[in-house]
Structure 1
Amino acid sequence: MSLTALAQVLGGANKVAYATSLDNVPNLRIVNFVWDETTPNVLYFASVRDSRGVQEFLASDRIAFSTVPETGNAHVASNQATGQASQRTLAQMQPQFLAQVPDFAHVLELIGPKLALYEIRITSAEVDQGLGNGVQQVTF
C-alpha cells in the first residue's frame, strides 16, 4: 500500500484514543497527536510528563489505538504498536502541533513547561478510508 491513504486519513484527524493494560487493568486515553510524513510509522503526542497516564503508557508492552476523525468515519487503528518517550523534543514538533491541533497555543500557555513528547510506534495498522472507500493494511 502506498502511504497516500494513510496520509489522507491521518490528515483528517488530530485526536487518537490509545489503550493500555497493566496488571490486567485496561485503560483508554484520548490525546491530540500530529503525524510527520518523514516518520510515517509514528504518531506524536504531548502529555504532562510523569502523569499516571504517561507512566502506564511507558510501562505497557503494546499499545492499541484508533484515530478519532473530525468528520465521517475514516480512521487508522492498530493493536500492533508500542509507546516510548520521543527522541524529538516538543520544541522541535511545536510548529506541527500549532498548525494541526486547534487551541494548542493555549495549552502551551497553560502547561507548556510540564509537557513532554511521546511516540506511538506502529508495526502495522488498518487504514479505513471511510464508508465505501475501502480498508487497507499497512505494515512498516
Structure 2
Amino acid sequence: MEDLFRSYWWLLFPMAWFVFGGFSSWLNYRKQRETLKLLKTYADKGQEPPEALLRVLDKPIDSDSELWAGATASGSGGDDGTWFTVVLMGLLAAGFGYASWTNMYGQSDAFLIVAMVLGAVGVACLVSGLMKLGRRRSNRS
C-alpha cells in the first residue's frame, strides 16, 4: 500500500480538484434553490422581486464565473487573471525548458514536451489578453 501511494501521490491533486468542483456546484445549486424559495415568497405576497435576485437565476448552476473571474465579477472592472496566467505559464515553460536543456534526471524529452505545452498555453493566453485589451480600447473610443 505504501508503494502505491509513493508511486501515485500526484493523483491527490486531480482528485482534490474534482472534489472541489463538485462542492462548488453543490453550493451553486443551494444558492439557486434558496433564490427560488425567496422568489416564491415574493410571489405569495404579490410583490415584484428585486432585479438582482432575478439575475442569480440567469447563471447556470455549474457557473464558476464568480469564483475564477476575480475583480471582474465584483464589478470593479479589474483584470480577469489573463496576464497572471501569461506570466505563470511563461515562467513554468522556462523552468521546464531549463530542465530539458540541462537533461535533469535524464528526462530531457519529457521536460521538453511539458515546456512546449506550457509555452503554447502561455502564448494562447497572451493572444487572448491582447484581444481583450484591443476590444476594451475600441469600446472606449
TM range (shorter): under 0.3
Highest RCO, 1 vs 2 (Cα 8 Å, sep ≥ 6): 1
Q: Which has the higher strand share?
A: 1
Q: Which has the higher helix share?
A: 2
Normalising by structure 1, we get a TM-score of 0.16
Normalising by structure 2, we get a TM-score of 0.16
